[in-house]
Structure 1
């Protein structure tokens, strides 16, 4: 006899959610890829224009600030492994929906502005390969990568991982060529900068731009819901990302200002192509292809991450619930991804590269200051503290907060 199902027995398919598909190797490739492409390929010229032969010092200063805040992120990501990232940390610390929404919105803005800046950088390199208007190239880049981001998180990160190996290989190629050619390094690289107001002012402002070059590791906090063993792998991935990028940046900055005059780097739309040509002595066409790949990698990662911030905020109720819809087949937030694509394309057409980078750095420093402050608040004796697998000394978020504020304040004294 056939047994009839009652209404309560009818199977109900739960709403689609994000899937845990990313292990430590893919997380490191993702973090390194978005960081490297966002910075050294695009901004070495702008940094050299302000810091000159002391560009390596600007990158070192930015790396130190980033390392302190990175440690705070590592602890918070183990306490609150959710895609809302910074917005969730602030809400947990201050129990304020308004502040949480403001921080989440600022995080959205930085992701969009950063992607727009790198889109312009990528269009600059691509313009050396094909003769098309820069705005058309920029829009084509955003649309193509937005479609990849909508395809699936595993597919997006695997592609980003492949691109990361190519872009890192390009930097290693420059380093190897410089060693082989016996490039003569500037003596300024091995001595502290002079106590001159103009020099120090240039370095501090350059460090703000160089800070943009490290933006990306924190994106790992916003793919935490798609990471395997997130409380173990996210802190490790953050630490490895910062270590790899710091070493690469310091070496490339030293080689760049030694091989090509900083004034010439500052005026180029494809600065590392000049460096490559100088140290390798061959046509930079192949390197231009690598540079394009690098910037595409960062844009893809930024679109992917920022869509997850939209998703996470919608899950918290800070944005309309429609933005939290995840497609059952792709496992990605399609509506959120489409909105990010439109915003990135619009900004890339409206503002110049250096201005976009400066805005991104200031907004990111503001977020980082609040993240450090949130950890201090959460760890205070009067606030209930959730368990965390990664735990840092309290002086780290305190120093992280101070350095972020000082770096933001230094721009007020830059001519």
Structure 2
């Protein structure tokens, strides 16, 4: 009998391990949110919004906030991998639409990871005399191996790197406000008039700034690996958004104070300009932090995209082979390898700015569908299990703000 039970147990497909706590999940969220967006795109945002770049980050944070609370409820209703697909399937009762959304989410992660990998390779190129394409492939391959290692190990690696990159942003803020020569703007110059054509530039810059916030929603896609998701998911999502918003606005303001805006707008490595007059050792130290920050984004987006493909396959929406989980590491090995290959192809095919804009648009499209799904679920008033709840006004504003920001791409 025992032998039969053992045989039956061994025949069961491997499942993901619930190992993530609130601190680890928050660091995971910060790791995928804080990274290439702020380290690379501050200059581009300043080129669009001028002195009002911090306002663009504030607008992006507000847009994200409504949808973040929608995700907090939905991730406790359905704590599974491929979260957005599960939410849309429940809200619209459509497996086909769920598959489209799941693939869109996975694609956004892979496109974002490709953009980040290009940025990481650019920083590395300054230290290592190797072809850019080779460095990009090396970054993606190494991060893929870490992602295959195990969820606890890969998130712990990402958490350590996240602490380093957050330290880098704090360093930029402190140096920009307290040690560098104030060659840029005064604080009063960063407050926009209530009316005027400058709001078109601020709106366009907000779409770029939004890319810097892309990531918190990825936390929903590791919900199947979270201990006590009902208690953990809302806290981790809110903490991630608050900490990221404070870091972004403080960093952008510090850079605008320290660096002339014309110089900033033309830079591919904007944060390093704050240390232009600093000792060489400090400049080199920050360059290393910037490399670490961008590499981390590749790892965490890779983890997210592979879990989405796994979740879709596990529910029969994609080929079953993508749901294969390693018995040894309990990670979705086939899905992870597929994600690595797609990211490498994207890095070789598209430039970083195009990748960033496409990522933002895909994510905003998903945000609209996820918020509408929550509205439909609430209107049904079905008997519900205990989970985190938000008022109806939250997903309604989530839809409106996402649509408005999506529309700025055509202004």
Range into which the TM-score falls when normalised by the shorter chain: over 0.9
Once the two structures are superposed, what CA deviation does each residue of 1:25-55 show, in whole Å capped at 9, x if it has no partner?
1111111111111311121121111111110
Mapped to 2, the partners of 1:393 and 1:280 lie a distance apart of: 52
RMSD of Structure 2 on Structure 1 (CA)? 1.8
- Tell me, yes or no, if the aligned pair for 1:377 and 1:383 is still in contact at 8 Å: no
The farther-off stretch of 84-93 and 279-288 is: 279-288
- The aligned residue for residue 412 of structure 1 is 410
Mapped to 1, the partners of 2:382 and 2:16 lie a distance apart of: 29
- Secondary structure of 2:34's match? helix
Shift in Å, 1:259: 1.6
- Tell me, yes or no, if the aligned pair for 2:177 and 2:258 is still in contact at 8 Å: no
Mapped to 1, the partners of 2:367 and 2:13 lie a distance apart of: 33
- The aligned residue for residue 94 of structure 2 is 96
Mapped to 1, the partners of 2:4 and 2:231 lie a distance apart of: 42
- Secondary structure of 2:276's match? helix
Once the two structures are superposed, what CA deviation does each residue of 1:119-160 show, in whole Å capped at 9, x if it has no partner?
111112112222222111111000000000001001100000
Q: How many residues align?
A: 408
- The aligned residue for residue 359 of structure 2 is 360
Instruction: Please show how residues 72-91 of structure 1 align to structure 2 within 5 Å.
Output: 72-91=70-89
Change (3 A) 1:268 1:131: farther
Match of 2:107 among 103, 106, 109: 109
TM-score (norm 2): 0.95
- Secondary structure of 2:329's match? coil
- Tell me, yes or no, if the aligned pair for 1:260 and 1:278 is still in contact at 8 Å: no
- The aligned residue for residue 196 of structure 1 is 196
- Secondary structure of 1:389's match? coil
- Tell me, yes or no, if the aligned pair for 1:277 and 1:283 is still in contact at 8 Å: no
Match of 1:118 among 107, 116, 119: 116
Shift in Å, 1:179: 3.0
The farther-off stretch of 92-101 and 176-185 is: 176-185
- Secondary structure of 2:35's match? helix
1:32 equivalenced with 2:24 (yes/no): no
Shift in Å, 1:281: 8.2
Mapped to 1, the partners of 2:213 and 2:161 lie a distance apart of: 18
Shift in Å, 1:272: 1.1
Shift in Å, 1:193: 3.7
Change (3 A) 1:267 1:191: closer
Mapped to 1, the partners of 2:24 and 2:2 lie a distance apart of: 44
Once the two structures are superposed, what CA deviation does each residue of 1:352-392 show, in whole Å capped at 9, x if it has no partner?
11111111001100000111111100000x35253342111
Match of 1:62 among 60, 63, 68: 60
- The aligned residue for residue 284 of structure 1 is 283
- Tell me, yes or no, if the aligned pair for 2:21 and 2:227 is still in contact at 8 Å: yes
Instruction: Please show how residues 164-175 of structure 1 align to structure 2 within 5 Å.
Output: 164-175=162-173
Match of 2:175 among 169, 174, 177: 177
Mapped to 2, the partners of 1:50 and 1:60 lie a distance apart of: 15
- Secondary structure of 2:13's match? coil
Mapped to 1, the partners of 2:46 and 2:131 lie a distance apart of: 27
- The aligned residue for residue 301 of structure 2 is 302
- Secondary structure of 2:339's match? helix
- The aligned residue for residue 264 of structure 1 is 263
- Secondary structure of 2:15's match? coil
- The aligned residue for residue 373 of structure 1 is 372
Change (3 A) 1:129 1:102: same
Mapped to 2, the partners of 1:109 and 1:398 lie a distance apart of: 25
TM-score (norm 1): 0.94
- Tell me, yes or no, if the aligned pair for 1:108 and 1:310 is still in contact at 8 Å: yes
Match of 2:140 among 139, 142, 147: 142
- Tell me, yes or no, if the aligned pair for 2:27 and 2:162 is still in contact at 8 Å: yes
- Tell me, yes or no, if the aligned pair for 2:82 and 2:221 is still in contact at 8 Å: yes
Shift in Å, 1:175: 1.4
- The aligned residue for residue 393 of structure 2 is 395
- Unpaired stretches in structure 2, ≥5 consecutive residues: none
Shift in Å, 1:188: 4.5
